[in-house]
Amino acid sequence: MTKKVRIGNIVIGGGERIAVQSMTNTKTTDVEGTVKQLAALQAAGCDIARCSVPDSASADALAKIVKSTTMPIVADIHFDYRLAVKAADAGAAKIRINPGNIGDESKVGYLAKYLKERNIPIRIGVNGGSLDKKYEGLPLDEAMCESALEHVALLEKHSFYDIVISVKSSDVVNTVKAYRLLSQKCDYPLHVGVTEAGIYEKGLIKSAIGIGALLCDGIGDTVRVSLTDDPVKEVYAAKEILKAVGRYEGAYAEVVSCPTCARTCIDVQGIATKIEEYARTLDKSVKIAVMGCVVNGIGESKGCDIGVAGGKDKSVIFREGKIIATVNNDEILGELKRQIDKL
Ligand code: SF4
């Protein structure tokens, strides 16, 4: 079991619900744009969001941003401990910084003390693409794990234990191996993800494999899907991964749909897409099937609460395997939604 770490109003680790994270891709100095994006992320189900703080103006903006959201905000800092201090003063709920990159050890000590007094945790984020030269020759997974533990030791030396760790690479297999290794060597909560995963479809697949494999192993206390796309999609993707591995807590509607074939009588893709959008607005546990034909549809969707099976001109709406309505094909969507609402 990992340690618990509090990030604002969210606790991760120690068996707590797995928190979904994302990161804004607006300029942090664009307060209005960033606040707007944070609101969209939160509405999509994001628990914790990160903003880059590359300079002092961004730290100033962060103070305004933090006041405009109820989500805990993580400040992403590279190297400069003074920016980390400024971000802490601005109200950041966590600082992402690698202590080994801060430089002079007295600066690490200063920052550790400063954050400890304010109960602000640090995430150590090791990235396989920017490892120190001294790890050359080591397999990537071992190198990432070693590097993370070295950063940890630096903080522990200053009696700082409020730590979250990530060891990400764009290489899925090494990412998974590194987290597995790390989970055996320490009990700090792990922020899991595959970094620089790529554009939407590619990033989705890499993240689902990497994060999914780790979650199946019981590894991971908070997740971030990295996509070269709208960060809101990262949140949806993270939630889908959690659902797929049975780690999503709370009620949700699940839509299953058949792959379509020569027997297909209705626009399965169009209907399933619309029902999926509708399902996202529901907060009840219901499994909905959209099946292309009556021949196999009802039988194949056993285990669903409700569904449609397509016919030539008319289709059937079924509930727990029994037909409850027959509708014209252009009325499927409306009737299905009505029946779902009745459940
Ligand atoms: S449910 Fe019917 S239409 Fe869909 S894949 Fe199966 S046989 Fe084909």
CA of 277 to the centre of ligand 1 (A): 22
The atom of ligand 1 lying closest to the CA of 309 is: 1
Beta strand 94-96 pairing with 73-76: parallel
∠ Cα 8 10 16 (to 5°): 150
d(CA 15, CA 6): 13
Top mutation candidate among 271, 290, 294, 295 for ligand 1, by most atoms within 8 Å of CB: 295
Query: 295 CA to middle of ligand 1, Å?
Result: 8
Alpha-carbon gap, residue 317 to 129, rounded angstroms: 52
Q: What residue's CA is closest to ligand 1, atom 7? A: 296
The pTM assigned to this predicted structure is: 0.90
Ligand 1 centre distance from Cα of residue 75 (Å): 49
Reading phi first (left if > 0) and then psi (alpha if -120 to 50, else beta), residue 134 is in: alpha
State which ligand 1 atom lies nearest to the alpha carbon of 292.
3
Q: How far, in Å, is the centroid of ligand 1 from the Cα of 171?
A: 36
- How much distance in Å is there from the Cα of 236 to the middle of ligand 1? 27
> Tokens representing 16?
């707590």
Average pLDDT, the chain: 95
Residues 6 or more apart whose Cβ sits within 8 Å of residue 267: none
List, chain by chain if needed, residues with CB within 6 Å of any ligand 1 atom.
258-261, 263-264, 291-293, 295-297, 300
Distance from Cα 243 to the centre of ligand 1, integer Å: 24
Q: Which two tokens stand for residue 160?
A: 């700082």
What does the alpha-carbon distance between residue 87 and residue 95 come to, in Å, rounded to a whole number?
8
**What whole-number distance in Å separates Cα of residue 44 and Cα of residue 235?**
6
CATH 3.20.20.20, the chain: domain bounds: 5-244
Look up residue 282 and give its two tokens: 């529901």
pLDDT, tens only, 294-333: 988 888 878 899 999 999 999 999 998 899 999 999 999 9
Over its length of 343 residues, how does the chain's per-residue pLDDT go in tens digits? 999 999 999 999 999 999 999 999 999 999 999 999 999 999 999 999 999 999 999 999 999 999 999 999 999 999 999 999 999 999 999 999 999 889 899 999 999 999 999 999 999 999 998 898 999 999 999 999 999 999 999 999 999 999 999 999 999 999 999 999 999 999 999 999 999 878 999 999 999 999 999 999 999 999 999 999 999 999 999 999 999 999 999 899 999 999 999 999 999 999 999 999 999 889 899 999 999 999 888 888 788 999 999 999 999 999 988 999 999 999 999 999 999 999 8
- For the chain, give every residue range classified as CATH 3.30.413.10: 253-342
CATH 1.10.645.10 for domain 5-244? no
Ligand 1 atom 5 nearest Cα? 260
Of 293, 302, 304, 312, the residue with max ligand 1 atoms within 8 A of its CB, to mutate for a pocket test, comes to 293
Fold of 253-342: Sulfite Reductase Hemoprotein; domain 1 (3.30.413)
Atom of ligand 1 nearest to the CA of 295: 2
Atom of ligand 1 nearest to the CA of 297: 1
Query: Which residue's CA is minimally distant from atom 2 of ligand 1?
Result: 293
Q: Residue 266 corresponds to which tokens in the numbers above? A: 């209705």
β 306-309/314-319 pair status? antiparallel
pLDDT tens, residue by residue, 12-69: 999 999 999 999 999 999 999 999 999 999 999 999 999 999 999 999 999 999 999 9
